[in-house]
Amino acid sequence: MIQENVKKVLNENLWYIATCNDEGSEPNVVPVGFKRVCDDVKLAIGAVLLETTLENIKANGRVAVACANPVTGEAYQIKGTAELVYEGDAYKHYRKLTEDTFKGAPELKCAVIITPERLINASPNERNKEEIPL
């Protein structure tokens, strides 16, 4: 379960998702704005412009998400696995959001569902690098 203070930072700030394929390529990191904590343990992203990220997820499914409140410095890193989905609640949510935001162009490619395996404090304080139980 993701703690309420962590959810607050995730819900109120931009995320950065990092991926890499299995071929020794360079890491890829991009900001994402279509994102949410979709239940107490999973994260969802609407993939509109993501290309390299989706290819990397198809290659190995490993992701890291970083998020920070720029005012307070409260920050977290989540490491886990991702899957691409083309139906269901998260997909419908992001399809509607994409249509409402972009009026049809570009279109939603898929939703990305992230299952966190590790939650790490990335805040600049004495708890930096401390693992937080999920």
Measured distance CA(36)–CA(75) in Å, rounded: 16
Residue 22 reports pLDDT greater than 90: no
- Using one digit for the tens of pLDDT, what is the confidence trace for 42-86? 999 999 999 999 999 999 999 999 999 999 999 999 999 999 999
**Which one is the CATH code of 4-125: 2.30.110.10, 3.40.640.10, 3.30.70.141, 3.30.1330.20?**
2.30.110.10
CB 103 within 8 A of CB 133: no
Amino acid at 34: F
Average pLDDT on 3-16 reads 95
Domain boundaries, the chain: 4-125
pTM over 0.75: yes
